[in-house]
Amino acid sequence: MASTGTAERVQHIQTILTTRLVMEHARSRVWDQFPMVPPEAKLGGADSGDTVDIRFQRRLDINTDTLLEKTDIVPSSVTGQKMSITIVEHGDAIQRTELAQIVQKGNLDDDLANLVSSQHTSSIDRLAGRAYFEGNAVVLRPNGVTARSGLDSTNDALDASGVGISFLSRPLSMLRAAGAPGDATDGNGQQKYMTVINPVIAHDLIQTAGFLPALQQREGRNDLFNGEVGEIMGLRFMVSEQGKVYPGAGNLAQATTLNGAVLIGATSFVATSATGIAVGDILTIGVLEDGAGTVDVEKTAEKTENVLVTAVSGTTITIAGLGFVEADVTTPGFRYAHATLSAVTEADLVAAMPVFGPQSAMKAYATRTGPMGEGRVSGPFDVLGRFVNVGWYAVLGYKKTIGIWTVRIEVATKHQHLVLNQ
């Protein structure tokens, strides 16, 4: 009787995983569709290293000097610009055995390939996005607000009076003045730029004066970006779940702390004080990112998340969150564990909108893993051939080119939302 051995199963998983990666990346790629990849940023064997120097030239300054017939012309010198991109390894893996295949009672190979490919593409997009919304030299907030904590959902939302088109024109004008290349020109000959927003402010966007839906403003042509929803005055909007938000960072309503640690999956917590907390409020638990956006909450010991208040009894707060206990996926609770005295904040949600062009960031990658990484299956490693690893692997890096070529906008949103900084 014919049988299927471990080698055949591994090949089967590899085929499914590779297919899933390609399809998922084609569907989900938003941030990673923008960075430039110069020829020297594709690192192979002879030119390998942990960094790569990218050289490029700035355009010459405008010269209006009169040329005299008898005077020699003194040529301008070309100053080479150089930036260094560090490439590092990224990846993740899960493991399956024959027993897991039986216990799961499903097509585990297919399910694992789907899980790995989805995580892979989201992770790559998050890495690319950081090149645009972190460490911006210029940050603009509406109505003269100087700190993120001063943004409120009544006056400082994208569609609020005094924001909208007049506010969006500021980063566009700055990029045009700085000579940042755009991806196209509008009907007035002005350079067009892009931004990626979180779905939470897409509702505000469509209510903003001057918004044109993507299919209308592109006149039916097939040149839409992944996730593109529309345009305002030469600024093209893409929507992605990886669009940056700052939970609990805006105008403060309530602040307290945890009066005891909570575990992953917990559906309630005890607050030091519950004054002002009511059913329907959205609370942020954990470390807030500061006004400069320099706190990398994804790498802190405690993750930050939002939860929805469903009941209040004294200082005991019952919540629904974006996590769950493995034994009960129907009861949403905390996704992360939080320590005693962790911050509990109720404040307006703030969203980041980086405005950039096609040369605002660059990408380098190892040619072996490709520009988007690859799916991998390894094993089995044990004597009985049980454990097979299914995962993804990438060697790449991103970096801004010229600081002024990416301007970050920060606005509040009228629509509260459960978000994660995961």
**Predicted local distance difference test score (pLDDT) of residue 1:** 44
Indicate whether 420 belongs to any domain. no
pLDDT at 85 over 50: yes
The sign one gets for the Cα dihedral 398, 404, 405, 406 is positive
Indicate whether 142 belongs to any domain. no
Indicate whether 421 belongs to any domain. no
**Predicted local distance difference test score (pLDDT) of residue 398:** 93
Indicate whether 143 belongs to any domain. no
pLDDT category, 171, cuts 50, 70, 90?
very high
The answer to whether 332 and 318 are in contact (CB under 8 A) is no
The sign one gets for the Cα dihedral 258, 259, 264, 266 is negative
Number of domains in the chain: 3
Does 309 share its domain with 383?
no
**Predicted local distance difference test score (pLDDT) of residue 378:** 84
pLDDT category, 64, cuts 50, 70, 90?
low
**CATH code of the domain in which 184 resides:** 3.30.2320
Residue 156 DSSP code:
S
Enumerate the H helices of 41-107 as residue ranges.
Answer: 98-103
Please state the φ and ψ torsions of residue 332, each to the nearest 5 degrees: -75, 135
Does 39 share its domain with 131?
yes
pLDDT at 37 over 50: yes
Indicate whether 67 belongs to any domain. no
Mutual angle of helices 6-28 and 108-133, in 10-degree steps:
40
Does 388 share its domain with 305?
no
C-alpha 70: how far from its chain's center? 58
Burial class (CB in 10 A: 0-12, 13-18, 19+), 395: buried
Does 17 share its domain with 113?
yes
Does 314 share its domain with 379?
no
Closest to 58 in 3D by CA, of 180, 183, 173: 180
Indicate whether 418 belongs to any domain. no
**CATH code of the domain in which 112 resides:** 3.30.2400
What percentage of residues in the chain have a pLDDT greater than 90?
Answer: 34
Does 108 share its domain with 219?
no
**421 or 377, which is more confident?**
377
Does 165 share its domain with 184?
yes
**Predicted local distance difference test score (pLDDT) of residue 360:** 93
Indicate whether 419 belongs to any domain. no
Indicate whether 61 belongs to any domain. no
User: Mean per-residue pLDDT for 30-39?
Assistant: 87
350-404 pLDDT, tens digit per residue, is 999 999 999 999 998 888 888 888 888 887 888 887 888 888 998 899 999 888 9
Determine the structural domain holding residue 340 and report its residue range: 252-292+301-347
Burial class (CB in 10 A: 0-12, 13-18, 19+), 68: exposed
Q: Measured between alpha carbons, how far is residue 352 from residues 166, 221, 314, 348, 417 in Å?
A: 17, 29, 36, 13, 14
What mean pLDDT value characterizes the chain?
83
Does 129 share its domain with 163?
no
Q: Is the pTM of this model over 0.75?
A: yes
User: Mean per-residue pLDDT for 185-205?
Assistant: 85
Does 211 share its domain with 319?
no
pLDDT at 294 over 50: no
Rg (Cα) of the chain, in Å, rounded? 25
Does 327 share its domain with 266?
yes
131-165 pLDDT, tens digit per residue, is 999 889 999 999 999 999 999 999 999 998 889 89
**Predicted local distance difference test score (pLDDT) of residue 58:** 66
CB atoms within 10 A of CB 67: 7
pLDDT category, 293, cuts 50, 70, 90?
very low
